[in-house]
A and B are shown apart, each in its own frame.
Chain A
């Protein structure tokens, strides 16, 4: 994992690389805080923030939670009860002293796009004490009806296959869909319609506006052999080049990875269902089996804090145990 983590750019005196390595061992959830436009991160250990985390979150204008890869319906050995671990994640959110403005779910809500799976997920997530939940689909959520069921349940008032944007307290959030119309041999894909929409969506924004992009599959190339990347992400990021602060939040790979490239900070969140192996460390990216008593330490959520003025987002990866 260390091979994939670059230095952080926030100049906040926190060694993110070491920090994230710790998180990888501890398992997780992520608390993000937005400090004047840049995401900062810290782990939510045992449901409470450490002194370091609190320092990072201090003065945040608002915070939100990223939750990902619930895979409701999965029942194999890697985690026979994914509903229970999603519930633990919700409990963790509710026990935090920081009340998030909203949740972002970065996809794979379900395992097989079954109505019963979506019902269960909605039921559990409804218990989270947060303003509302924003979703983007994972490939597991669009397995039937060309994703129509996902759109009906989670993507009302979105464009195309479920992409959209919204503004929140000075930050611009963009939810992208990179799990539909995938081409043989390729990676995740945004497609020309969505790219055109994105270009138009950010056209009128001031370059000082903090931009937070969220999508299921990483928008940076983590490991193409396993499909962990998005074919046309560079074009999308090209439209965001002029912005001083861009944060990209993804799921899909069920482990924390972070990379900073110029003005863009990339971050992937843990799953609430099961871990996946580090790139190339297993024959395939399938669910990774860990001893039952260790499972919750490799699952988690992320908490993000936003502070207007000093341009940084704080991301706290928090394990479920």
Chain B
């Protein structure tokens, strides 16, 4: 678990450095227990979300990219919190998770495709 958090810490450094956001990122990232907003990518390949589960700090933005030849629709299980338009090949959809919790989602037109975002 520690290792995972460390990796997220690293990811946070890279992403926030790229995003050029506020100046406190370095010190926050050094401490693995701290929660740092970040950006994370989920890829859609072969009718599945990868990774199927990701854990991100509150305030993080998750971006889905569709690599399939088939459109997909990223939708929270409740159908309300977030729902993308139909994502054609290479289209992206982003959503920022502000509150901690477990967010299950699926593809509204291929409902066998399920995955989740854990927000800490």
Partner of B47 from A112, A179, A184, A226 at Cβ < 8 Å:
A226
| Other A-B pairs beyond A78-B69, A185-B114, A224-B112, 10, CB < 8 Å | A74-B69, A113-B86, A144-B85, A184-B77, A184-B106, A227-B111, A227-B112, A284-B46, A286-B68, A287-B70
Given A143-B71, A286-B68, A287-B70: A225 and B85 within 8 A (CB)?
Answer: no
Is A76 part of the contact surface with B, judged by Cβ < 8 Å?
yes
Chain B interface residues toward A at CB < 8 A: 46-48, 68-71, 73, 77, 85-86, 88-89, 104-106, 108-112, 114
Which residues of A64-86 have CB atoms within 8 Å of chain B's CB atoms?
74, 76-78
Tell whether, in the assembled complex, residue B47 and residue A285 are in contact, meaning their CB atoms are under 8 Å apart.
Answer: yes
Residues of B within 8 A of A139 (CB): 109-110
Q: Within the complex, which residue of A186, A187, A283, A287 is in contact with B69, where a contact is CB–CB below 8 Å?
A: A287
Closest Cβ neighbor of B110 among chain A residues: A227
Query: Closest CB of chain A to B2's CB: distance in Å?
Result: 32
Residues 218-233 (chain A) with a chain B CB within 8 angstroms: 224-227
Is A168 an interface position by the 8 A CB rule? Answer: no
**Cβ–Cβ contact A225 & B68, under 8 A:** no
Give CA–CA (A298, B38) in the complex, Å. Answer: 47
Question: In the complex, which residues of chain A have a beta carbon less than 8 angstroms from the beta carbon of B86?
Answer: 112-113, 143-144
Instruction: State the Cβ distance, A136 to closest chain B Cβ, in Å.
Output: 15
Which residues of B are found within 8 Å of A281, using beta-carbon distances?
Answer: none
Question: Cβ of A140 and Cβ of B71 under 8 Å apart?
Answer: yes
Give bound CA distance, A227 to B69, whole Å: 17
Nearest B-chain residue to A189, judged by Cβ: B111
> Given the complex, which residues of A lie within 8 Å of B112, measured CB to CB?
185-187, 224-227
- Are A286 and B77 in contact (CB-based, < 8 A)? no
C-alpha spacing A285/B109, complex, angstroms: 13
Determine the chain A residues whose CB is within 8 A of the CB of B106 once the complex forms.
184-185
Chain A residues with CB under 8 A of B47 = 226, 284-286
- Residues on A with beta carbons closer than 8 Å to the beta carbon of B46: 283-284, 286
Cβ contacts A137-152/B at 8 Å (1 or 0 each): 0011001100000000
**7 CB < 8 A contacts A-B:** A113-B86, A143-B71, A143-B109, A227-B111, A284-B46, A284-B48, A287-B70
- Which residues in A have their C-beta under 8 angstroms from that of B114? 184-185
